């Protein structure tokens, strides 16, 4: 090995390394020997930090001086469902400030669940001369002023993607800040914006960017504007329409239909708020080449959905509301043999009674007809063990399986048994399963199955399940590849957590809310595990104002090299070596 | 697990996971032999925590912990409400009755009260009929701790909790004020469970459930389902879209719109925003109470940051005075981007037009009161 290192010049090694992109492989390379470590760190261009508090910016910059692309994630996943109180953290500004100095040639920033301010965006806009890609996924804290700064200053911007972010006081004029000379846009996703954008600015922008491939409009773009936009960008590959409703008029219809037919490259459709079914035939001509269809905001009923999907023979991904019903899913199973990913969202999640005829049968049909199905997110109101067993047997290649039975603790509606066996079959047959979300009535037994079989599982979401610590223990002990575990409203307490404390260092994070982990146990963990941050999140006030045995409201544990953070709000406490003293 | 809360054991409820898990649970109850722990750091023994700060009571409780703590019962929807009711009335005199025993809706955005949720799910009538069948099965070979009652435990620790505000969503100050009696209370609670257990054996079943169910329904306002925070797990963006889509359809169907309606709440001087779901309240009073609690820790700058308790606790009534009196007013931004004082229009109209809320200093709000309503 030593001889090889000497005989192959650095430049050659670097060139070889440039073909290695995955973080895992790059990490492996860097562990071979010191010189490879050195060479690798100088040529790593892309870094991914899954938890922004696991390291601090200076550590990253010190090790990787020539980074061009950064991806950061902030809040835990359950923040999506309002379980993480506002103000918890995830501020990106310190990262940007550090990188503004260290990485003047930074090109890409992707953030997920982070707090981004206008100040941050302005700093990005003026610090990175070759800035190309900004992806803000489920972020918040900024306004269209920040976007205006990006538009005005980033001369080489290729991608601006605001997917599902919360943007304050949106006004449409920020789009006009793109100078007339700006033509490099490849991808624009503004679907999350609440208010109107300036339509003529939008049309002009679209018209002068010949490389535009992805355009996701927001709800405020009406149907009659869509045709104009499409005509200016017939090269589009991915389109998010705005509101797809207007008074049915033949001239408008033919205009839209003509515009769509002109887009020969279209592969992905999304948007479609407030659909008037009479306009759906306008997209029939392009259906056969569609690979991705996101109708999860579209209030289209089952018959129209059937007509639509039965023409999408190339479909690989479908996101849809439960209006599709079992009957629509049968059609899907019959016509869309290439389907790989299915997500069915509830149209009325808070209704007491089901409003549509969507049951476990729909998912079973798809599992029977679509042999390539490997990613499922399914909201429904009833399930049986038999159905789950059938699905498991039909889809041994399943990698992501998320089932949400809307009512917590719902048993098998035929046998009234827990759904342990059904999920057990999933983990037993689907040996490549990486992500699993459970629901329904579940005992410790399901966790035993998971611990025994789900060896590739990386992320597990649990709610209203289990009987005792044994359940949690099975998972922590058995799931060798577990990285993220999020639990809410389960009877898990101290025992399993303390017994498997070391496991927590092998994971990215653990979230437990409305469980039974005592403050005392949190303190103990904080004392004994210096490489974990044990964050107690409790809006009832300081945990030491209650008995030590009192369970904490929420607990977020993550491994970190950066130590406790300093940007915590008043309702978050980190347990560390000192805290035991401080709290006594 | 909380030894003090072990006092709230009860039995006699249906357990769906019968024989199989009972063996493993029995195993655990014999001092953890079924757990197969890999005791990496010798951490499995909870009592190694520095106990100097812990009241002596809990030592005893910790020994109980080994046996009782792992005897959990599967909490089934609908099966909890009766115990909760019986429980609470046993543990204190009339005072707790003032509290919303079965608050239908989460009191505060972002706070999960497991007990609340459990009660809520118990009110689903369709399912409770099924569960009635189970309540016959008294397969309880072992008494189990109902983990749900941890919040009940905290509550019971401090029976003189003030009115409505101190259910799990209570602000830090209440908990702190009342922490001193907790030692005494938990002692009392230890006595109680036996009685509770006995009472429970005799018929806290379907009938109680239905009673509880009906009493709940009469006290709650909306016909739409009571919402557990963050459940079902749907992103806010999607929920809000659904909500406004269903509003559009309402004129056609006449069905009540459901779904969350989150708006941001800011307060002058507070370091960060909060969000509230307007649909969880049905009156201005409820909203006002909830906001008081949420922002109590900002006023007078008292909030236990980094675990150091603030010296002056702001009592809830004092804060209410602050909010209702001269210092702060609650304002909202409507669809036309005007800032208005909250309270001028009927509640339904308000939630239709309110885009965000702001707690302003009264001095800043002069002139807002002059808005007219239709």
Q: In this predicted structure, what is the pLDDT of residue B199?
A: 39
What confidence category does residue B276 fall into, taking pLDDT thresholds of 50, 70 and 90? Answer: confident
Q: In this predicted structure, what is the pLDDT of residue B161?
A: 35
Residue B164 has pLDDT above 70, yes or no: no
How many other C-beta atoms lie within 10 A of the C-beta of residue A18?
10
Instruction: Give the C-alpha distances (Å, rounded to integers) separating B323 from A287, B121, B281, B293, B367.
Output: 57, 34, 18, 11, 18
Residue B158 has pLDDT above 60, yes or no: no
Residue A76 has pLDDT above 70, yes or no: yes
Q: Give the least confident one: A242-256, A267-281, A534-548, B127-141.
A: B127-141
Binary contact (B40, A579; C-beta < 8 A): no
- Give the residue, B296 or A158, on which the prediction is more confident: A158
Which candidate in A542, A555, A567, A582 is best for mutational testing of the B interface (most B CBs within 10 A)?
A: A542
3-class SS string, A439-480: CCCCCHHHHHHHHHHCCCCCEEEEECCCCCHHHHHHHHHHCC
If you average pLDDT over residues B285-295, what whole number do you get? 81
A514 in reach of chain B (CB within 8 A):
yes
Residue B223 has pLDDT above 60, yes or no: no
User: Which distant-in-sequence residues (6+ apart) come within 8 Å of A491 by Cβ?
Assistant: A466, A467, A468, A469, A515, A516, B72, B75, B147, B148
Find which of A77-86, B86-95, B144-153 is predicted with most confidence, using mean pLDDT: A77-86
Residue B78 has pLDDT above 60, yes or no: no
> What percent of the residues of chain A are helix, what percent strand, and what percent coil, each to the nearest 5?
40, 20, 45
Q: Give the least confident one: A359-363, A464-468, A509-513, B36-40.
A: B36-40
Q: Quick one: tokens of A151?
A: 């538009």
Residue A466 has pLDDT above 70, yes or no: yes
- Give the residue, A67 or A4, on which the prediction is more confident: A67
Find which of A1-10, B230-239, B287-296 is predicted with most confidence, using mean pLDDT: B230-239
- The position carrying tokens 């808070």 is A350
- Distance from the Cα of A410 to chain B's closest Cα (Å) equals 8
Residue of A409, A354, A416 whose CA lies nearest to A385: A416
If you average pLDDT over residues B81-89, what whole number do you get? 38
Residue A464 has pLDDT above 60, yes or no: yes
On chain B, the residues whose CB falls within 8 A of the CB of A83 are 110, 112, 229-230
Percent of chain A with pLDDT over 90: 92
A530 in reach of chain B (CB within 8 A):
no
Q: Give the least confident one: A367-371, A414-418, B318-322.
A: B318-322
- Distance from the Cα of B272 to chain A's closest Cα (Å) equals 5
What confidence category does residue A201 fall into, taking pLDDT thresholds of 50, 70 and 90? Answer: very high
- Give the residue, B2 or A478, on which the prediction is more confident: A478
Percent of chain B with pLDDT over 70: 24
Residue A403 has pLDDT above 90, yes or no: yes
If you average pLDDT over residues A281-291, what whole number do you get? 96
DSSP string, A515-577: S--BHHHHHHHHHH-TTEEEEEE-TTS-GGGS-TTSBPSEEEEEE-SS-S-S---TTEEEE-H
Average pLDDT over chain A, rounded to an integer: 95
B274, with CB counted inside 10 A (0-12, 13-18, 19+), is buried
Q: How far apart are CA A62 and CA B288, in angstroms?
A: 50
Q: In this predicted structure, what is the pLDDT of residue A580?
A: 53
Which residue among B17, B147, B230 sits closest to A418, beta carbon to beta carbon? B17
Instruction: Give the C-alpha distances (Å, rounded to integers) separating B266 from A301, B43, B285, B294.
Output: 39, 43, 18, 11
Residue of A70, A65, A64, A111 whose CA lies nearest to A92: A111
What confidence category does residue B355 fall into, taking pLDDT thresholds of 50, 70 and 90? Answer: confident
Residue A287 has pLDDT above 50, yes or no: yes
Residue of A431, A442, A432, A427 whose CA lies nearest to A472: A442
Instruction: Note the pLDDT tens digit of each residue in A419-457.
Output: 999 999 999 999 999 999 999 999 999 999 999 999 999
Residue A187 has pLDDT above 60, yes or no: yes
On chain A, the residues whose CB falls within 8 A of the CB of B5 are 549-551
What confidence category does residue A192 fall into, taking pLDDT thresholds of 50, 70 and 90? Answer: very high
Interface size between A and B, measured as CB pairs under 8 A: 321
Instruction: Note the pLDDT tens digit of each residue in A125-135.
Output: 999 999 999 99
Binary contact (A516, B150; C-beta < 8 A): yes
Instruction: Give the C-alpha distances (Å, rounded to integers) separating A581 from A527, A577, B155, B257.
Output: 10, 8, 27, 51
Sequence-ordered alpha helix ranges (H) in chain B: 19-29, 56-64, 81-91, 114-122, 125-135, 150-157, 172-177, 182-201, 206-219, 236-253, 284-295, 316-324, 347-353
A385 in reach of chain B (CB within 8 A):
no
- Give the residue, A312 or A196, on which the prediction is more confident: A312
Q: In this predicted structure, what is the pLDDT of residue A421?
A: 98
What confidence category does residue B361 fall into, taking pLDDT thresholds of 50, 70 and 90? Answer: confident
Binary contact (A379, B20; C-beta < 8 A): no
Residues of A (6-65) whose Cβ lies below 8 Å from B:
none
- Give me the helix-helix angle, B81-91 and B206-219, nearest 10°: 80
Q: Give the least confident one: A325-329, A577-581, B79-83, B290-294.
A: B79-83
Which residue among B16, B225, B303 sits closest to A351, beta carbon to beta carbon? B225
Residue B64 has pLDDT above 50, yes or no: no
On chain A, the residues whose CB falls within 8 A of the CB of B273 are 86-87
Q: What is the pTM of this model?
A: 0.72
Q: In this predicted structure, what is the pLDDT of residue B254?
A: 38
């Amino acid at each position: 090995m030593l001889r090889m290192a000497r005989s192959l010049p650095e430049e050659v090694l670097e060139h070889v390394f440039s073909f290695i992109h995955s973080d895992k492989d790059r990490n492996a390379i860097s562990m071979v020997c010191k010189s490879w470590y050195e060479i690798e760190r100088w040529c790593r261009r892309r870094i991914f930090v899954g938890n922004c508090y696991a390291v601090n910016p200076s550590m990253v910059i010190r090790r990787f001086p020539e980074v061009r692309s950064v991806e950061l994630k902030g809040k835990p996943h359950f923040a999506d469902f309002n379980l993480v109180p506002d103000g918890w953290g995830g501020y990106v500004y310190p990262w940007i400030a550090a990188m503004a100095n260290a990485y003047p040639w930074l090109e890409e920033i992707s953030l997920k669940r982070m707090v981004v301010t206008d100040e941050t965006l302005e700093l990005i806009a003026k610090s990175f001369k070759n800035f190309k890609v900004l992806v803000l996924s489920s972020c918040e804290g900024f306004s269209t002023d920040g976007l205006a700064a990006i538009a005005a200053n980033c001369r080489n911007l290729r991608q601006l993607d605001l997917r599902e972010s919360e943007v304050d006081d949106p006004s449409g004029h920020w789009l006009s800040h793109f100078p007339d000379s700006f033509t490099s846009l490849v991808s624009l996703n503004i679907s999350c914006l609440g208010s109107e954008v300036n339509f003529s600015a939008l049309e002009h922008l679209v018209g002068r960017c010949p490389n535009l491939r992805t355009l996701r409009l927001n709800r405020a773009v009406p149907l009659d504007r869509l045709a104009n936009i499409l005509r200016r960008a017939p090269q589009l590959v991915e389109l998010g329409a705005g509101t797809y409703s207007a008074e049915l008029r033949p001239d408008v219809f033919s205009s839209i239909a003509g515009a769509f037919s002109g887009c020969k490259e279209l592969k992905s459709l999304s948007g479609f708020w407030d659909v008037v079914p009479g306009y759906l035939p306008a997209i029939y001509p392009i259906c056969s080449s569609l690979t991705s269809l996101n109708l999860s905001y579209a209030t289209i009923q089952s018959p129209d959905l059937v007509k639509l999907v039965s023409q999408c023979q190339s479909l690989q991904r479908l996101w849809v509301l439960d209006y599709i019903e079992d009957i629509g899913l049968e059609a899907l199973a019959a016509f869309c043999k290439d389907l790989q990913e299915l997500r069915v969202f509830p149209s009325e999640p808070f209704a007491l009674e089901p409003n549509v005829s969507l049951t476990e049968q729909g998912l079973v049909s798809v599992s029977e007809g679509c042999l390539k199905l490997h990613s499922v997110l399914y909201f429904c109101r009833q399930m049986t063990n038999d159905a789950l067993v059938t699905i498991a047997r039909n889809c041994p290649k399943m990698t992501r399986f998320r089932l949400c039975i809307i009512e917590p603790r719902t048993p098998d509606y035929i046998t009234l048994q827990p759904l342990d066996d059904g999920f057990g079959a999933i983990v037993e047959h689907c040996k490549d399963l990486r992500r699993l979300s459970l629901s329904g009535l579940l005992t410790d037994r399901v966790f035993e199955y998971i611990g025994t079989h789900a060896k590739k599982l990386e992320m597990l979401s649990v709610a209203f399940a289990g009987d005792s610590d044994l359940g949690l223990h099975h998972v922590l002990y058995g799931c060798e590849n577990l990285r993220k575990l999020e639990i809410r409203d389960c009877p898990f307490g101290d025992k399993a957590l303390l017994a498997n404390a070391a496991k927590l260092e092998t994971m990215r994070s653990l979230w437990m809310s409305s469980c039974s982990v005592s403050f005392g146990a949190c303190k103990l963990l904080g004392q004994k595990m210096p490489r974990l941050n044990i964050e107690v999140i409790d809006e009832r006030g300081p945990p030491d104002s209650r008995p030590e045995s009192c369970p904490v409201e929420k607990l977020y544990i993550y491994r970190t090299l950066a130590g406790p953070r300093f940007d915590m709000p008043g309702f978050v406490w980190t347990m560390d070596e000192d805290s035991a003293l401080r709290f006594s | 697990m909380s030894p003090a809360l072990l006092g709230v054991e009860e039995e006699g409820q249906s357990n769906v996971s019968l024989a199989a898990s009972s063996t493993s649970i029995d195993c655990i109850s014999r001092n953890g032999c079924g757990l197969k722990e890999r005791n990496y750091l010798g951490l499995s023994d909870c009592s190694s925590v520095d106990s100097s700060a812990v009241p002596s009571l809990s030592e005893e409780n910790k020994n109980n912990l080994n046996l009782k703590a792992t005897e959990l019962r599967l909490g089934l929807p609908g099966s909890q409400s009766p115990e909760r009711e019986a429980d609470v009335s046993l543990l204190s005199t009339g005072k707790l009755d003032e509290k919303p025993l079965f608050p239908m809706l989460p009191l505060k955005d972002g706070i999960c009260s497991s007990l609340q949720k459990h009660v809520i799910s118990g009110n689903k009538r369709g399912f409770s009929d099924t569960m009635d069948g189970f309540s016959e099965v008294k397969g309880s070979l072992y008494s189990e701790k109902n983990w749900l009652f941890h919040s009940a435990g905290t509550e019971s620790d401090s029976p003189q909790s003030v009115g409505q505000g101190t259910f799990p969503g209570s602000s830090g100050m209440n908990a702190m004020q009342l922490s001193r009696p907790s030692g005494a209370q938990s002692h009392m609670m230890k006595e109680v469970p036996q009685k509770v257990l006995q009472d429970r054996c005799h018929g806290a079943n379907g009938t109680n459930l239905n009673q509880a169910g009906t009493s709940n329904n009469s006290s709650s306002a909306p016909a739409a389902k009571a919402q557990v925070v963050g459940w079902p797990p749907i992103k806010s963006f999607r929920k809000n879209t659904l909500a406004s889509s269903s509003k559009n359809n309402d004129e056609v169907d006449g069905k009540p719109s459901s779904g969350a309606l989150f708006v941001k709440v800011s307060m002058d001087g507070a370091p960060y925003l909060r969000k509230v779901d307007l649909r969880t309240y049905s009156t201005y009073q409820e909203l006002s109470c909830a906001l008081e609690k949420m922002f109590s820790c900002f006023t007078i700058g008292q909030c236990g940051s980094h675990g150091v308790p603030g010296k002056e606790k702001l009592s809830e009534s004092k804060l209410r005075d602050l909010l209702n009196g001269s210092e702060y007013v609650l304002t909202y931004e409507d669809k036309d981007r005007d800032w208005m004082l909250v309270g001028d229009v009927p509640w339904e109209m308000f939630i239709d037009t309110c885009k965000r809320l702001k707690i302003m200093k009264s001095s800043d709000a002069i002139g807002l009161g002059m808005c007219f309503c239709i």
